[in-house]
Structure 1
Amino acid sequence: MFCTSAPVWLTAQVIGWSLLLQLVIGGAISWQLARRQWAGNPWLDVLVTLPLVFPPIVLGYAILLLLGRHGWLMQALPHWMQPEVIFTPAGLVVAAFVAGLPLMVKPTQNAFASTPSSLREAAATFGLSAWQIFWRVELPLARRGIAAGLMLAGGRGLGEVGLSLMLGGNIVGRTETLSLAIFNQVLDGNLACANQLSLLLCVLVIPVFLMLRRWGSL
């Protein structure tokens, strides 16, 4: 039994919700960048890539200014529509989602872009609508890239610390994820517990790495 189990279950919930957001929002962004010609695509691409180049603390502070209780976005919403995000598990989900978004979008975008246009045209000649072409042609062909993106994004969210600190607050028993628990245990000098949690984190991440290597060699 691990020295503390609460961060493990919280992390599982955070990663689960963040992967759902990656699949829906990240997948939609990927398809937009790969398929639709829009003047705002370069700016959307830059926005998605920001978490790769911006310091997590700076990015977390920017999101804090946007989603905090007195944030810019919250002030633009009616009081009854203002959700509690910062210093809650929802903030951790946002942190994991933002951190992993570039790693979800890039492989998925490439997967959608590599779908031969001749297949889509052939499907259209059989009377399939654009929506049917997406579900029956594009999505099945892009499934490997989507799965790779989900695994990369999940692994990135699993190890996120900087954004989680800013948006979740590192509140023990409430917003302490597995990575933050390791950080806290090291600060407290409880290295035995930190070793256990670090081992668990490795056990969770290594299979993802092995699966990505196997798929890359197929």
Structure 2
Amino acid sequence: MTGPGPWLAALAEPHALFALGLTARTALVTLPLHLAAGLALGAWLARGRSPLKTAVEMAVTLPLVFPPVAIGFVLLMLLGRRGVVGAFLLEHAGVELVFSFHGVVLASFVAGLPLVVRPVQSAIRSLPPALAEAALVLGKTPLQAFFLAVLPAVRRSLAAGMILAFGRSLGEVGITMMLGGNILGRTNTLSLEIYNAVSAGEFESAAALCTLLGAVSACVFWALRRLGAF
């Protein structure tokens, strides 16, 4: 590949454009979900008291230590048409999670969630309890105390977690392949399209997509640094 022409031509292919669009839409949906769930679970695991705490923490951390394909298979058995959860959702809500955009979003969410929760959990655990208690003494509600006192103190850990979760979600293959099915024109994300291109021997297309993916990741990291996340 001697110039940008072949690279641009590879990115302009219909299957590549679809993969880019699907990945962008998935990120737009997943990022706010990671933000909300990461903050809520991180705070609850750091300070909450419940007999379910250990089980929830283990479930959240599982994607870090369990093979993605195996996690995807378990979710497929639960959420498929014949799965306990999947059959219920299909019958009562008309929602089919697997082999759809919903499945791709769920795979991205599950893969990146622990990378947001764990830094937030550790950061909140390291804070002195007096920080939130001072806000409560001043008449703030627990929710207001969290957003006014706790959240600013853990914003750097949250930003770092969001960066890691975003990168992990973009690079996710195993869970996405199981829940999404890697259906061309329907559930082939950018990472899966790279896999498809390599499998078909289209190395120029794979190289162009990898370069684009790296550039997007670098831009996100740079933007967060400029915003003072670090």
TM-score above 0.5, yes or no: yes
Aligned length: 218
For 2:145, give the aligned amino acid.
I
1:119 equivalenced with 2:119 (yes/no): no
Q: 2:84 aligns with which of 52, 72, 86?
A: 72
Match of 1:10 in 2: 22
Q: Distance in 1 between matches of 2:132 and 2:37?
A: 23
Any idea what the Cα deviations from partners look like across 1:95-154, whole Å, max 9, x if unmatched?
111111111111111222233211212212211111211121112222221111111111
Q: Does 1:194 align with 2:201?
A: no
Residue 106 to residue 214, structure 1, CA distance change in 2 (3 Å): farther
Name the counterpart of 2:55.
Answer: 43
What whole-Å deviation, never above 9, does each CA across 1:196-218 have from its counterpart, x for those lacking one? 00111111223455678999x96
Matches within 5 A, 1:78-117: 79-117=91-129
Match of 2:177 in 1: 165
Gaps of 5+ in 1: none
| Equivalent of residue 28 in structure 1, options 26, 40, 44 | 40
Deviation, 1:74, is: 2.7
Per-residue deviation, 1:70: 1.4
- Counterpart CA distance in 2 for 1:110 and 1:212 is 21
Q: How much has 1:26 moved relative to structure 2?
A: 2.3
C-alpha spacing 1:34/1:106, structure 2 compared with 1 (3 Å):
same
Would you say 1:19 and 2:67 are equivalent positions? no
Match of 1:137 in 2: 149
Whole-Å separation in 2 of the counterparts to 1:61 and 1:74: 13
Any unmatched runs of 5+ in structure 2?
1-7
Deviation at 1:184, TM superposition (A): 0.5
Contact 1:19–1:150 (CA<8 Å) still a contact in 2? yes
TM-score of the two chains, using structure 1 as the length reference: 0.91
